[in-house]
Amino acid sequence: MNTLIENKTIKTDHETLNSIIRSRRTIYANNYINKPISEELLVEIIANATWAPTHKRTEPWRFIVLEGKHQEKLGEYMLGYYKEHLSEENFPVSQYEHTLNYPKNATLVAVILQRSKRIKIPEWEEIAAVSCAVQNMWLSCTANEIGGYWDTSEAAITYGSKLDLLDNERCLGLFYMGYPDPTVDKPKSKRKPIHTKISIHSI
């Protein structure tokens, strides 16, 4: 329902929420412009991540913001990784430059699963909780007109795994963020009809 306040129609909260959830898209780093995300906003986005639910309040995560030469180093790492692991056909020389420069406009956050040593929770529940946290970050990006995506490729995970992790920690990929190029159309996405995803079981 819309509410009229001082001649302005504002959306009610549930409509805003629906809109943020449904307009969240995977926006890849080659579509980011060279505009940094302020530290204040970045902290707000990561703080929202930590408001995700966790079983027994373990908060099984840590977020490592990759600054300085990381964008450059990640580009070099991906180039080396793909050269080593992919055939010339699947990773032709023509893609080298693109790969090297790919992270250059991205704010990079390594997503770390940090398992509690004290409270025993099945790993899948802890990964589920981290996934909820990542979704919070992603939705917060959408609300701030920032593009984002979760890179769980082997290259991203192995890069993040080199960040001095402790023995109860595991990298679950890199979360990319950046302001999208306004001249590029937002990617479209679709979902299967909802009736194919809901069934009713009654006894």
Ligand X SMILES: Cc1cc2nc3c(=O)[nH]c(=O)nc-3n(C[C@H](O)[C@H](O)[C@H](O)COP(=O)(O)O)c2cc1C
Q: How far is the CB of 5 from ligand X (least distance, A)?
A: 32
Nearest to 102 by CA among 70, 134, 144: 70
Looking at the Cβ atoms of 23 and 168, the one nearer to ligand X is 23
Does 144 engage in binding with ligand X (CB under 6 A)? no
Q: How far is the CB of 158 from ligand X (least distance, A)?
A: 13
- Using CB under 6 A, count the residues that bind ligand X: 9
Q: How far is the CB of 91 from ligand X (least distance, A)?
A: 15
Find the binding residues for ligand X in span 147-176 (CB under 6 A): 149-153
**71 vs 57: CA distance, rounded Å:** 33
Nearest to 150 by CA among 169, 167, 137, 140: 137
Does 20 engage in binding with ligand X (CB under 6 A)? no
What number of other Cβ atoms are within 10 A of residue 186's Cβ? 12
Looking at the Cβ atoms of 46 and 176, the one nearer to ligand X is 176
Looking at the Cβ atoms of 46 and 174, the one nearer to ligand X is 174
Looking at the Cβ atoms of 24 and 70, the one nearer to ligand X is 24
Does 189 engage in binding with ligand X (CB under 6 A)? yes
Instruction: Catalog residues that contact ligand X under the rule CB under 6 A.
Output: 25-26, 149-153, 187, 189
